[in-house]
Structure 1
Amino acid sequence: MNEALTIRIATEADLEPLRALMALAIDRGQAAVLTPGQVVASRAVMGLDTQLIRDGTYFVVEEGGVPVGCGGWSRRATLYGGDHSTDLRDPALLDPAKDAARNRAMYTHPDQVRRGIGRMILDRCEQAARAEGFAAAELMGTAGGVPLYAACGYHPVERADAQVDGVTVPLTRMRKTLTASA
């Protein structure tokens, strides 16, 4: 982990910088693994879910006060999608005794990849979910994110591609058992 990186809970004041970071991560970060049409289509199923910020479960990683990554977890049933993807949203609270927490909306600035930012966010999400009694975490991995999640112990559960205006956006539902210590 780089000592210059800090992580904190995101606030409403972070909304615009986080949206800009996410746009870069989607447009540039996914370009290496998706076709241009898939990148455009992925915008319909990716993005900021402000419920995570209201719930206090969304993190921003900064370097020198500048956001370089973000992501969070949720105790709600929604697995993925932003504010604009209303058909994917389910605000029902999960039961930690039987449900997996949801890791959500993970993005790293494309100029900052391979610095441990994603791992830092996943670590913080897993710690918080474990503290609330969750024994497992699930996420919806994009083509660009699946290698990181697999390296962090997440296993594919199912392929769950999204269809947007006739374009397939590859997605993989992944799960990890959270150990008692971290």
Structure 2
Amino acid sequence: MPVLTHRLARLDDLPDLRSLMQRAIEGLQRGYLTPAQIRTSHKVMGLDTQLVHDQSYFIVEREGRIAGCGGWSWRATLFGGDDSVVARAPAALDPTTDAARIRAMYTDPAFVRQGVGSAIIALCEGAARAHGFRRAEMMATLAGVPLYTAHGYRPIEPFTTDPIDGVTVPLIRMGKDLA
């Protein structure tokens, strides 16, 4: 199997990343969410370009093709993208008391179960540790819970989005010690 490579995302990657996210939400949430919840997910999930500007958003590639993406953050925002209806908080976190945020992880459906998600988690955790964080938290989709659990993340609390056009999306806040 060809090797996975990685790099930091650039602004010129944004159209490709948005396309990948669309495919991932549409393809990988089936079986976990209703069609209405999948449609609503596009209004709660997505690309937060602050992560690209902060140089904390990774792209994993296989043979030059983007296989997945994801990032970490030292900012308070737990989830939500540029175009989402979710409020974001750009305040800086304190690595001695706060948990780093694992954010916006997506795998292209053509590359699932090939180590892409695991590679992104390792990159994010390594970067968060290098910045002094001892814990990480994320807001996980139901489809992502098995991957995150396999990497040592544990549920903190279930979460449901506020209704959007009468539809809510279930998520799970998860955390892990990085020490």
Give the TM-score range, shorter chain.
over 0.9
Q: Which amino acid aligns with 2:83?
A: H
Shift of 1:13: 1.2
Moved more, 83-92 or 111-120: 83-92
Residue of structure 1 in register with 2:111 after alignment: 112
Structure 1 residue runs of 4 or more that deviate by more than 3 Å after TM superposition: none
1:84-122 deviation per Cα after TM superposition (whole angstroms, max 9, x unaligned): 125420000000010000000000011211111001000
Report SS of the residue matched to 2:119. Answer: helix
Measure the CA separation in 2 of the matches of 1:165 and 1:137. Answer: 32
Q: Which amino acid aligns with 1:143?
A: L
Aligned residue runs from structure 1 range 1-182, under 5 A: 3-85=2-84, 87-162=86-161, 163-179=163-179
* Contact 2:3 2:63 (C-alpha < 8 Å) held by counterparts: yes
Structure 2, unpaired ranges of 5+: none
With the length of structure 1 as denominator, give the TM-score of the two structures: 0.95
With the length of structure 2 as denominator, give the TM-score of the two structures: 0.96
Shift of 1:165: 1.9
* Contact 2:5 2:61 (C-alpha < 8 Å) held by counterparts: yes
Measure the CA separation in 2 of the matches of 1:35 and 1:128. Answer: 35
Report SS of the residue matched to 2:176. Answer: strand
Shift of 1:159: 0.5
Taking every aligned residue pair, what percent have the same amino acid on both sides? 56
* Contact 2:44 2:85 (C-alpha < 8 Å) held by counterparts: no
Measure the CA separation in 1 of the matches of 2:5 and 2:135. Answer: 26
Report SS of the residue matched to 1:26. Answer: helix
Report SS of the residue matched to 1:168. Answer: coil
1:140-182 deviation per Cα after TM superposition (whole angstroms, max 9, x unaligned): 0001001110110000001111132221211000000002xxx
Q: What is the root-mean-square deviation in Å for CA atoms of aligned residues? A: 1.1
Measure the CA separation in 2 of the matches of 1:75 and 1:89. Answer: 13
Shift of 1:27: 0.7
Equivalenced residues, count? 178
1:13-68 deviation per Cα after TM superposition (whole angstroms, max 9, x unaligned): 11000000000000111122111001001111100000000000000011121111
Measure the CA separation in 1 of the matches of 2:122 and 2:71. Answer: 10
Shift of 1:3: 4.8
